[in-house]
């Protein structure tokens, strides 16, 4: 069972839009579980304060380590091996490969920050890893957590209709996905590319591959460059493996 535990000051945001999608159906079917924990419930004062002014001065407020630690310790056992993640714009970029690895595990504990951030001692003291969904800043980690959950849950067995669909989509092979078409055959003077209706599966596959490469080169030169480096490394490894050993 894939289990998600979300620590947030807005537990009512979950499951949010996920409850209306395939992820919601999978949640109702028991294919995964979601626990939204209210951090404020672990505050010690009558105002349920979870933040304070930043040490050293500066604008905004910082989420307190002691309050967050009580929330984490109350719901996450010391023996819980699930990854502990903090959604943060300064974190390691979330990739499809990381999503697939998370989906293959037992779930995740996700902490949603707010205000100016989280006391660094909590991140270090409770072994949280910072994860980013992009180079921009959101009002809080909740929307980012929903993105991560959606990306992971859709890969769980039984959630999506066809397993092949996840193998051919963007990033699965280091490329963006090729263009998709469906009926009608002609729309506003724009026809479906003839190769897709020719019945020759080899030609269709070659066209899709070429289009995926074209789009990746044009839109994501970083992915294309990384793919080229990986290809050279693989070729070098193959050459070395074919070189006969000479002893003595």
* Tens of pLDDT, residue by residue, the chain (248 residues): 999 999 999 999 999 999 999 999 999 999 999 999 999 999 999 999 999 999 999 999 999 999 999 999 999 999 999 999 999 999 999 999 999 999 999 999 999 999 999 999 999 999 999 999 999 999 999 999 999 999 999 999 999 976 545 666 678 788 999 999 999 999 999 999 999 999 999 999 999 999 999 999 999 999 999 999 988 877 777 666 665 555 54
Q: Looking at the chain, list the stretches that DSSP marks H as alpha helix, in order from N- to C-terminal side.
A: 22-28, 65-75, 96-104, 120-125, 141-153, 163-167, 201-219, 221-242
Cis amide prior to 130 (ω within 30 degrees): no
pTM: 0.88
Q: What is the CATH number of the domain that holds 69?
A: 3.40.1280.10
* Tally of structural domains, the chain: 2
Phi-psi group of 55: left, alpha or beta (phi > 0 → left; psi -120 to 50 → alpha; rest → beta): beta
* DSSP state, residue 136: S
Based on the fold, state whether residues 100 and 196 are members of the same structural domain. no
Whether the ω angle into residue 184 lies within 30 degrees of 0, i.e. cis, is: yes
Q: Are 203 and 197 in contact (CB under 8 A)?
A: no
Asked if residue 171 is part of any domain, the answer here is no
For residue 114 the two structure tokens come to 């707010």
Domain that holds residue 109: 2-153
């Amino acid at each position: 069972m894939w289990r998600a535990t979300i620590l947030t000051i807005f537990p009512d945001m979950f499951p949010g839009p996920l409850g209306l999608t395939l992820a919601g159906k999978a949640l109702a079917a028991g294919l995964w579980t979601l626990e939204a924990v209210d951090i404020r419930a672990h505050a010690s004062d009558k105002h349920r304060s979870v933040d304070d002014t930043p040490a050293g001065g500066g604008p905004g407020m910082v989420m307190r380590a002691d309050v967050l630690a009580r929330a984490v310790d109350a719901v996450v056992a010391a023996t819980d091996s699930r990854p502990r993640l903090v959604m943060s714009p300064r974190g390691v970029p979330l990739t499809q490969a990381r999503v697939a690895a998370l989906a293959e595990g037992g779930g995740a504990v996700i902490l949603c920050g707010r205000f100016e951030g989280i006391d660094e001692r909590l991140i270090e003291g409770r072994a949280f890893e910072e994860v980013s969904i992009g180079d921009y800043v959101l009002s809080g980690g909740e929307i980012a957590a929903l993105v991560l959950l959606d990306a992971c849950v859709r890969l769980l067995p039984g959630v999506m209709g066809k397993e092949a669909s996840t193998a051919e989509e963007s990033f699965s092979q280091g490329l963006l996905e090729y263009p998709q078409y469906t009926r009608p055959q002609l729309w506003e003077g724009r026809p479906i590319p003839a190769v897709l209706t020719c019945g020759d599966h080899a030609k269709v596959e070659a066209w899709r591959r070429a289009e995926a490469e074209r789009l990746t080169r044009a839109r994501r030169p970083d992915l294309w460059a990384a793919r080229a480096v990986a290809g050279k490394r693989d070729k070098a490894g193959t050459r070395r493996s074919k070189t006969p050993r000479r002893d003595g």
